[in-house]
Every structure is written in C-alpha cells, then in structure tokens.
Structure 1
Amino acid sequence: MPRRVSPWGLAAILAAATLPAAAQQKPTTPSDTAFAAQTCNVCHGSQSYVSPTMPPIHGGDAATLHQALLDFKTDKRPSTIMGRIARGYSDEQLKALADYLSKN
C-alpha cells in the first residue's frame, strides 16, 4: 500500500528542494535573502501567521537564530529537514538570513 504524504510534509519537501537553488546565487544580496526567507514561511509561518506546529522565527534574536542554523548545518542540533536545508547555505548566507528574519 503506498504511503501518503501530508500537505505539510509535501510543503516541507518542496521548500527543502528550492532553498539550495536560491543559495547558489553569490554574493548574498538583500533580494536573495528576502527570497530565501519567504521559503521559510512554508513551515514556520510569517509575521501575520504563526504556524501551530513550528517555532516562529520572525522577529527573534538574530544571534540565537544564526547559531541555531549553524547547529543544524553541522548536525549539533538534531533535525529531520532543517539540517539538509542549512547545509545548502554558506555561513555568511545563514547570518544574512538570520539578520533578515530578526527584522522582518
């Protein structure tokens, strides 16, 4: 019997597939960062909508978010999808993303 993927699972898979492509644009520009941050909304919600199942990331502390992203990237923080997503970005891009999300 085939397994069914929930809508949230499908959204997470699609988000993970698009993020590394956005990360290949170097150097990180504000528009690249804004584009990448929009894909975060698929799982985490936006400023106007908070996901009931994922932690909010908009308006948080930039240093804390940056460290969390680095920890996901290096597998210091266990994850299902975030480690794969974070590995698609350079440390500089993760910092820019954390800074953007903290202000938006």
Structure 2
Amino acid sequence: MQLFRWTAALCLLGTLGLAQAEQKADPNLARDLAATCTGCHGSDGRAVPGAGFEALAGVDKAQLMQKLRDFRSGARPATIMHQISRGYTEAQLELIAAYFAARK
C-alpha cells in the first residue's frame, strides 16, 4: 500500500511538472488566454468606445494585475469578472496582464 502511495504521488508531481513545462513552452499561450477577454474588452483589448467595457490594451501590467486580484478577492464589484478571474491561476493572470500591457 505504501508503494502505491509513493507511485501515485510521483505520477502526480510528474504530471504537474509536464503541465508547467507545456505552459512555458507555448509561445502563443498568453495570446490564447487573452482571447477569452475579447468578447467584452474588444479585439486585442481595444474596447469599443461607449460599450461600457474598459480597454485593456496598453494598461500597465501591475495595474491590470491589481484589478484582477481585486475582482478575485471580491474587493472590486463585478457582474462576472469575479468568476472569470477565479478561473485562472496567478501565473495565467500574469501572462494575460503582460499580453495586454504590451498592446499599444
């Protein structure tokens, strides 16, 4: 039984390591993650003026991260962003924020 536990633990750690390696290896990961934001925040983070959504393109990464953390914690009121922000890891949110910050 003890051997089974160790084997299962090692398999789990190996799987997590592979998932992280794949995440770092994908050069399009940030763009792909950010694509989920375009439905509301516009193509490449360029929101349609007057549509009621903030533009994300060119906003400082630290500022975007603070907003995302505030949505996640509930400190910032939202209709849906509190749920969306909880669906990503901290590392994924960092990628998304960096992607939009790089858009000018």
TM-score, normalised via structure 1 length = 0.67
Distance 1:48 1:57, change over 3 A: closer
Larger Rg: 2
Distance 1:74 1:46, change over 3 A: same
Which structure is higher in RCO with an 8 Å CA cutoff and minimum separation 6?
1
Residue aligning to 1:50: 47
Residue aligning to 2:62: 63
Report deviation, 1:71.
0.8
Report deviation, 1:32.
2.1
Give per-residue Cα distances to partners, 1:64-91, cap 9 Å, x unaligned. Answer: 0011001111111111100100001111
Q: 4+ residue runs of structure 1 moved beyond 4 angstroms?
A: none
Identity %: 37
Residue aligning to 2:86: 87
Report deviation, 1:46.
2.3
What RMSD over aligned residues (CA atoms) do the two structures have, in Å?
1.8
TM-score, normalised via structure 2 length = 0.67
How far apart in 2 are the matches of 1:40 and 1:95? 14
* Higher percent of residues as helix: 2
How far apart in 1 are the matches of 2:41 and 2:66? 17
How far apart in 2 are the matches of 1:44 and 1:88? 17
Structure 1: 5+ residue stretches without partners: 1-25
Distance 1:67 1:49, change over 3 A: closer
